[in-house]
Structure 1
Amino acid sequence: MAQGSNFVDYVKVCCRSGHGGAGSSHLHRDKTTMKGGPDGGDGGRGGHIILTGSSQHWTLLHLKFRKHILAANGERGGSALRTGATGKDEILEVPLGTVAKDAETGEIIFEITEEGETKILTPGGKGGLGNNNFKSATQQTPRFSQPGMPGQERWIILELKVLADVGLVGFPNAGKSTLLSVVSAAKPEIANYPFTTLVPNLGIVGYRDNKSFVMADIPGIIEGASEGKGLGYRFLRHIERNSVLLFMVPADTDRTIEEEYTILLNELKAYNPEMLAKPRLLAITKSDMLDEELEEEMKAQLPSDIPYIFISSVAGKKITQLKDMLWKAINE
């Protein structure tokens, strides 16, 4: 599965920022001055390690094999009050939705959610002060300066939570990949067995008047996903970032549609109760096999607290109406 191997949503890297340069202890000397005052400049700051958001990246694949990320050290201060050069910063582009965590404590340092958003992950050490800073009325020729401050070294976990307008929630085989392939240019792998989708697939869905929104097909939930069964937590975190959740239940399910919807809802609730605050829609998929009478019967058994629609991606049934419902939900 070629695409699956390229979707990297978790990397652990060792980040070491640059040391600050030492200050200079130089005393001024020239042809006319044998014993001048202090003129040692400050050391340069060490390089930062910086994360910046880039919509050109969809995954963390480009960082997968970079285990150690090092920024340059600052230069020493010079004579004539010259400040040492700043160490070169190491700037890492990351996809929008990347969360940076301290690998030892698990604490979230920050997250990057916007294009061009830039944050310092590990700051470089400050440069040391040159001896010029230490002159005073009582000490007119200090012959000492400060060393630079050391940089920081820490292990960082970068985790990606996919940012999308609509997240598709359903068991394996609910027709999520098929819907995505019909409404967008995404080409997810489609087959009728569980766990075809092992990575989130993103598609741009074209809408009226050249508008568009992003839809994410997230791997099928199985009962117990919130406890880490199956692919568990790994993909539930991708649903956290979607503004609208589209629940998908196939018309040929062995359970009732309400039962299946309730199980899906409980998985999300167990994982993160805040997810239930998101707008929800229900699509009954594969409904090209239903006649009107059967559809009416099924409507009576549907959950009462959620807008629903009967669709068929293959037959193109009510796909435009579904887009209308989604657009309205996103923009409310």
Structure 2
Amino acid sequence: MVFIFRTLFAAKELKKPRNYLRSKFIDSVRLHVKGGTGGTGLPKFGGLGGQGGCVYCVGKEDANLRSVMSKHRGKTITAGHGEDSRKTKIVGNPGSDVKLEVPLGITVYRDDGKVLGSIDKEGETVIIARGGPGGTPETNFLGHFGQVHHIRLDLKLIADIGLVGFPNAGKSSLLKAISRAQPKIANYPFTTIKPNKGIIAYKDLRQISIADLPGLIEGAHINVGLGHSFLKHVERTKILLFIADVQGFQLSHKHPMRSCLETVLLLNRELELYDPELLQKPAILAVNKMDLPGTDAILKSIKEAYKDINSVVETLPEDIRPESVIAFDDIIGISALRRGPGIEELKNLFRKRLDDLADETDPNIVHPSKLFRQSRATVRERGSKVT
């Protein structure tokens, strides 16, 4: 009897998921929302019923979808009903609105796939269920029902830099080396199973956000592995940082060993098959683990290959050959472990590329680095006039 009890207890323990698989990150929530019903009018005195309340989302920097889900799971979120008109109050009060605080980067989808709106800034709002109008002479003084929707709140992380790479390429190590984030790091693939976001802080108080996203595998574009749950977060990053192991990558013994260049081109292909527009984003290639012996020659060969990359692509097997090759603004060698060589250079590169991108999108904005260059040039000009 004791043996049976121990066996059942052990089986129960085996079903318990490991701690690192209990992801606290939620990036999609489904809700049932209902706008308030409009109040009834008063025909005798021409009184108007109050407007039904609305349900809407409002962006908040420190909000998260987990709190929304835990508070409203399995419930219909209903706004207040409009007040009926009466002799002592001819115009009824409107119903109370319901405000859902959501994180920035939310897109709201209706059950039929229609996009109701998106929230990218603090305080930005999207109405997800309008209240019904109150009773008026045009409606025979009858209030109308509010809108009823099944909606999906879909989160796509907003970050300046998005890390793209195969498992165990060193994305989490790099995030830890250059930011305040504390991601899980280990020497086995798939350490990262949920997006991590860090902030790079500079001495002049500038901050740049960087997102470490779960590692891709071949077939991610058709939702193999973490698939779409990863790729959708790439869409809202300004710059893509491809990170590749200088020694190459092999997912398992059933998969072929890919060289460093082949892994980069395979990443290129996965992004292209998911959304070709992603290849139009500015991109940087960081070749990691350059502290290992003999890696300088590999980095040099990769730089040479990208001088005429189309001819290289033609020689690749069809299953890893992209139709369009992403143009890297920079190719740099780094060692992400313990703030190795190339880390400071990469941080400065982020600043430069983000400033260049901002100048291209809005030339009227004067950025700190540009302002500093202008002031230094003015000082030099004044000094030359004095002499």
Q: TM-score band (shorter)? A: 0.7 to 0.9
Confirm or deny that 1:56 pairs with 2:71: no
Query: Which residue pairs with 1:289 in the alignment?
Result: 292
Higher relative contact order (CA 8 A, sep 6+): 1
- 8 A contact 1:258–1:303 mirrored in 2: no
Counterpart residue identity of residue 207, structure 1:
Y
Question: What is the CA–CA distance in structure 2 between the aligned matches of 1:91 and 1:296, rounded to whole Å?
Answer: 52
Deviation per residue, 1:192-246 (Å, 9 max, x gap): 2222111110001112411010000010010100011001111100011100000
Mark the CA change 1:24 to 1:300 in structure 2 (over 3 Å): closer, same or farther. Answer: closer
- 8 A contact 1:257–1:301 mirrored in 2: no
Query: Which residue pairs with 1:313 in the alignment?
Result: 336
- 8 A contact 2:116–2:126 mirrored in 1: no
- 8 A contact 1:48–1:124 mirrored in 2: yes
Counterpart residue identity of residue 297, structure 2:
L
Counterpart residue identity of residue 128, structure 1:
G
Query: Which residue pairs with 2:150 in the alignment?
Result: 155
Mark the CA change 1:81 to 1:265 in structure 2 (over 3 Å): closer, same or farther. Answer: same
Question: What is the CA–CA distance in structure 2 between the aligned matches of 1:95 and 1:164, rounded to whole Å?
Answer: 13
1:302 shift after superposition: 4.4
Deviation per residue, 1:166-202 (Å, 9 max, x gap): 0000000010001111111111111122221111100
Give the structure-1-normalised TM-score: 0.87
1:117 shift after superposition: 0.5
1:2 shift after superposition: 6.3
Matched residue SS, 1:119: strand
Alignment of 1:39-50 (within 5 A): 39-50=45-56
The 10-residue stretch of structure 1 (299-308 or 17-26) with the greater mean CA deviation from structure 2: 299-308
Query: Which residue pairs with 2:194 in the alignment?
Result: 199
Counterpart residue identity of residue 264, structure 1:
L
1:80 shift after superposition: 5.4
- 8 A contact 1:70–1:90 mirrored in 2: yes
- 8 A contact 2:162–2:210 mirrored in 1: yes
Confirm or deny that 1:92 pairs with 2:76: no
1:10 shift after superposition: 0.5
1:23 shift after superposition: 0.4
Mark the CA change 1:115 to 1:81 in structure 2 (over 3 Å): closer, same or farther. Answer: same
- 8 A contact 2:165–2:243 mirrored in 1: yes
Counterpart residue identity of residue 78, structure 1:
R
Query: Which residue pairs with 1:270 in the alignment?
Result: 273
Question: What is the CA–CA distance in structure 2 between the aligned matches of 1:192 and 1:70, rounded to whole Å?
Answer: 49
5+ residue gaps, structure 2: 1-18, 249-256, 308-326, 357-387
1:318 shift after superposition: 1.2
Mark the CA change 1:300 to 1:273 in structure 2 (over 3 Å): closer, same or farther. Answer: closer
Query: Which residue pairs with 1:119 in the alignment?
Result: 126
5+ residue gaps, structure 1: 27-38, 135-143
Mark the CA change 1:192 to 1:2 in structure 2 (over 3 Å): closer, same or farther. Answer: closer
Deviation per residue, 1:145-166 (Å, 9 max, x gap): 4110111111001100000000
Mark the CA change 1:296 to 1:163 in structure 2 (over 3 Å): closer, same or farther. Answer: closer
Alignment of 1:227-238 (within 5 A): 227-238=222-233
- 8 A contact 1:4–1:199 mirrored in 2: no
1:295 shift after superposition: 5.1
1:315 shift after superposition: 4.1
Give the structure-2-normalised TM-score: 0.75
Question: What is the CA–CA distance in structure 2 between the aligned matches of 1:318 and 1:170, rounded to whole Å?
Answer: 18
Question: What is the CA–CA distance in structure 2 between the aligned matches of 1:292 and 1:42, rounded to whole Å?
Answer: 78
Query: Which residue pairs with 2:40 in the alignment?
Result: 22
Mark the CA change 1:64 to 1:81 in structure 2 (over 3 Å): closer, same or farther. Answer: closer
Counterpart residue identity of residue 125, structure 1:
G
Question: What is the CA–CA distance in structure 1 between the aligned matches of 2:235 and 2:127, rounded to whole Å?
Answer: 25
Query: Which residue pairs with 2:115 in the alignment?
Result: 108
What is the total number of aligned residue pairs between the two structures? 306
Deviation per residue, 1:52-94 (Å, 9 max, x gap): 111112x311121313211111110122562111111001111
Question: What is the CA–CA distance in structure 1 between the aligned matches of 2:22 and 2:210, rounded to whole Å?
Answer: 18
Counterpart residue identity of residue 269, structure 2:
N
1:3 shift after superposition: 9.0
Deviation per residue, 1:96-140 (Å, 9 max, x gap): 11010012x2222211111111121110000011xxx58xxxxxx
Mark the CA change 1:203 to 1:3 in structure 2 (over 3 Å): closer, same or farther. Answer: farther
Identity value in percent? 39
Counterpart residue identity of residue 321, structure 1:
E
Counterpart residue identity of residue 119, structure 1:
V
- 8 A contact 2:35–2:131 mirrored in 1: yes
The 10-residue stretch of structure 1 (290-299 or 68-77) with the greater mean CA deviation from structure 2: 290-299
The 10-residue stretch of structure 1 (202-211 or 295-304) with the greater mean CA deviation from structure 2: 295-304
Matched residue SS, 2:291: helix
Alignment of 1:125-274 (within 5 A): 125-129=132-136, 145-253=140-248, 254-274=257-277
1:291 shift after superposition: 4.7
Matched residue SS, 1:288: coil
Deviation per residue, 1:275-323 (Å, 9 max, x gap): 0110000000111113575356544554334211110111421111001
Mark the CA change 1:126 to 1:301 in structure 2 (over 3 Å): closer, same or farther. Answer: same
Question: What is the CA–CA distance in structure 1 between the aligned matches of 2:49 and 2:172, rounded to whole Å?
Answer: 57
